[in-house]
């Protein structure tokens, strides 16, 4: 039996090891058995709280919980058998058959219940685990520390150093960043993307720091990583999205069962405030672009007006209630895939039609509204996200229109006669060149309407999110799978 007061933090002594705490009823129940176990072989007891417990045998106080942390003790009591410095087997709580087998004491605990669950280890206590992770995490983080004086205000320091979007951020302490990193299996120093405009490599750790600042939870981090992988592609062209004087920024559309698992909003107020996952995932992406890539307003970001969505614009599609396949499925992904699709978009505009009861009527109304995206006389240059609300979707579904039919009917109604859209027509100087007068031009390219089902169930409304210049000269929507 050992009572070494300074055990190695990296290895356990050979023989039997028991980890207990006095406040655990099951630990108190098994404490009288420990002398009997000690007589059968070498026994080392670590106690997490009361250094005098269990009293029946000598023990070592795991005061800093280093033993419990390094050996992943999640429940007490834990019984471990060690041979040659290697753990051979363990059991948690009290299970009489397991304790007898591991200790070799055939009649151990005859008077005790067959089974009794244990208690949570202090090393996984929510009030302690972040500090323990920071203390014993092995120097995982590589980012430069900001040293603050005792009287400095963390929020004001971050404002003053230009690390915020103008709103308060959560101070990214080591404890919080390490907690954020538990949301992914990716190594902290893995490079996620090269972030424009400064073309700086961003690691998982750097993303986690900005995700903390944005207010994300650990389960949000994989979505932020996937969105950045999509945004930082040549197809999406975030440098151009920043540099344009148009009021656009990344719009992040999330699909898959994971959206529901992390509590994303796809219903009432879907494009608005109030949902933590929606708000913080979008904000984290924008903070990375700002703080790592250097995309700051008034510098590379040259938007003449911008839009509130540039703080963060992220939402989930309501797939479960949708009469159609999802946006992600239409782009070639499986219904079980968790995905993000990024679109360079402006703020949403409402499409109102309270009276249409036939799909043809509603399609005609929507087409008239969609024609005005950016300008009613400008064809082909811009894409659009059409967020169809449940009440409008019902009108189409009751008419038997699937996704392809809705899109086909909209495109058909959005063929623009050249005589109406040439420069000067209708008293408007804007328009296409006079050579197009005898042509018919589509408002959107064939893949230029991204149809999404989302929103509250009360109200015959939908939303249009106009895009920036599309194709090779502008931005193309990009979809990426979310990897944990």
What pLDDT score does 139 carry?
80
Residue at token pair 């009469």: 323
Average pLDDT value for residue range 256-270: 98
Cα–Cα distance for residue pair 183/261, rounded to 1 Å: 13
Q: Are 191 and 288 in contact (CB under 8 A)?
A: no
pLDDT at residue 27 tops 60: yes
- What's CA 381's distance to the chain center, in Å? 32
Give the per-residue pLDDT at 5. Answer: 39
Two structure tokens written together for 305: 């007006």
- For the stretch 378-398, pLDDT in tens is 999 999 999 999 999 999 999
Give the pLDDT score at 457.
Answer: 94
**What does the domain layout of the chain look like in residue ranges?**
15-136, 159-481
Can you give the pLDDT at residue 356?
96
String of b and e for 7-22 (b: at least 16 CB within 10 Å)? Answer: beeeebebbbbbbbbb
Averaged pLDDT for residues 232-237: 98
pLDDT of 394 reads 98
Rounded to the nearest integer, the mean pLDDT of the chain is: 95
Q: Which pTM does this prediction carry?
A: 0.89
Instruction: Report the distance separating Cα 149 and Cα 160, nearest Å.
Output: 15
Radius of gyration (C-alpha) of the chain in whole angstroms: 30
Alpha-carbon span 381 to 475, nearest angstrom: 11
Q: How many helices (H) and strands (E) does the chain have?
A: 17, 20
Three-state secondary structure call for residue 151: coil
State the pLDDT confidence band at 41, using cuts at 50, 70 and 90: confident
Least confident of 3-12, 277-286, 289-298: 3-12
The tokens describing 100, both together, are 């007898």
159-173: average pLDDT = 94
Above 50 in pLDDT, residue 323?
yes
2 DSSP 8-state letter: B
Q: Which two tokens stand for residue 300?
A: 């590379």
Contacts of 324 (CB under 8 A, 6+ apart): 393, 402, 403, 406, 451, 453
Instruction: Count Cα neighbours of 451 within 13 Å in the Cβ-side half-sphere.
Output: 26
pLDDT of the residue at 138? 65
Residue with tokens 């656009």: 248
Residue written as tokens 């058909």?
Answer: 412
Determine how many CB atoms are found less than 10 A away from the CB of residue 346.
Answer: 26
In angstroms, the CA 363 to CA 467 distance is 20
d(CA 28, CA 213): 43
CB 339 within 8 A of CB 254: yes
Percent of the chain with pLDDT over 90: 94
Closest CA to 339 of 274, 401, 264: 264
Contact 192, 224 (CB under 8 A): no
Closest CA to 30 of 93, 80, 119, 97: 93
With the CA atoms of 359, 365, 367 and 372 taken in that order, what torsion angle do they form, in degrees rounded to the nearest 10? -160
pLDDT of 108 reads 97
Q: Is the pLDDT of residue 137 over 80?
A: no
Tokens at 398, concatenated:
């009751």
Residue 143 has pLDDT above 60, yes or no: yes
Q: Which residues pair with 481 in a beta bridge?
A: 339
Whole-angstrom CA distances from 46 to 11, 75, 80, 210 are 13, 13, 11, 39
Q: HEC profile for 414-471?
A: CEEEHHHHECCHHHCCCCECHHHCCCEEECCCCCCEEEEECCCCCCCEEEEEEEEEEH
Topology annotation, domain 15-136: Glutaredoxin (3.40.30)
Phi-psi category of 250—alpha, beta or left, where left has phi over 0 and alpha has psi -120 to 50?
beta
User: What pLDDT digit, counting tens, does each position of 328-377 carry?
Assistant: 999 999 999 999 999 999 999 999 999 999 999 999 999 999 999 999 99
Predicted local confidence at residue 7, as pLDDT: 42
**For 302-412, where are the E strands, in sequence order?**
313-316, 339-352, 382-388
- Residue 2: is its pLDDT beyond 60? no
Torsion of CA 153, 154, 155, 160, to 10 degrees: 90
pLDDT over 90 at 68, yes or no:
yes
**Per residue in 394-440, pLDDT tens?**
999 999 999 999 999 999 999 999 999 999 999 999 999 999 999 99
Q: Give the integer Cα–Cα distance in Å for 365 and 178.
A: 51
């Amino acid at each position: 039996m050992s009572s070494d007061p300074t055990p190695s933090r990296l290895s356990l002594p050979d023989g039997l090891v028991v980890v207990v705490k006095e406040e655990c009823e099951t630990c108190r129940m098994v404490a009288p058995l420990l002398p009997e176990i000690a007589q059968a072989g070498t026994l080392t007891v670590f106690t997490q709280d009361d250094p005098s417990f269990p009293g029946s045998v000598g023990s070592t106080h795991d005061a800093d919980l280093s033993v419990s942390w390094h050996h992943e003790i999640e429940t007490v009591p834990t019984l471990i058998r060690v041979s040659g410095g290697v753990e051979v087997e363990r059991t948690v709580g009290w299970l009489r058959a397991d304790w007898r087998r591991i200790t070799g004491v055939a009649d151990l605990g005859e008077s005790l219940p067959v089974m009794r669950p244990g208690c949570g280890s202090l090393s996984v206590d929510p009030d302690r685990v972040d500090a323990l992770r920071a203390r014993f995490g092995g120097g995982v983080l590589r980012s430069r520390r900001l040293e603050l004086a005792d009287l400095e205000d963390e929020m004001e320091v971050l404002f003053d150093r230009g690390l915020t979007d103008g709103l308060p951020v959560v101070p990214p302490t080591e404890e919080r960043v390490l907690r954020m990193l538990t949301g992914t299996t990716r190594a902290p120093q893995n490079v996620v993307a090269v972030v424009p405009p400064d073309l700086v490599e961003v690691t998982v750790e750097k993303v986690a720091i900005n995700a903390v600042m944005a207010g994300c939870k650990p389960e949000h981090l994989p979505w932020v990583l996937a969105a950045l992988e999509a945004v930082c592609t040549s197809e999406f062209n975030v440098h151009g999205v920043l540099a344009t004087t148009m009021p656009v920024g990344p719009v992040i559309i999330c699909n898959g069962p994971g959206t529901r698992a992390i509590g994303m909003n796809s219903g009432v107020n879907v494009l608005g405030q109030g949902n933590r996952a929606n708000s913080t995932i979008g904000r984290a992406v924008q903070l990375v672009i700002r703080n790592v890539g250097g995309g700051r307003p008034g510098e590379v970001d040259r938007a003449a007006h911008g839009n509130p969505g540039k703080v963060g614009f992220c939402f989930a599609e309501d797939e479960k209630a949708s009469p159609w396949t999802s946006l992600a499925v239409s782009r070639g992904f499986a219904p079980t895939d968790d995905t993000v699709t990024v679109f360079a978009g402006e703020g949403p505009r409402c499409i109102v039609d309270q009276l249409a009861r036939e799909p043809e009527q509603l399609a005609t109304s929507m087409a008239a509204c969609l024609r005005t995206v950016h300008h009613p006389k400008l064809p082909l240059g811009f894409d659009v996200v059409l967020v169809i609300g449940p009440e409008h979707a019902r009108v189409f579904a009751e008419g038997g229109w699937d996704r392809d039919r809705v899109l086909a009917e909209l495109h058909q109604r959005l063929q623009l006669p050249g005589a109406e859209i040439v420069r000067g027509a209708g008293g408007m100087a804007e328009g296409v060149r006079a050579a197009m007068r005898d042509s018919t031009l589509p408002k959107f390219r064939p893949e230029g309407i991204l149809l999404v089902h989302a929103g509250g169930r009360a109200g015959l409304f939908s939303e249009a999110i106009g895009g920036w210049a599309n194709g090779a000269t502008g931005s193309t929507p990009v979809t990426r799978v979310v990897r944990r």
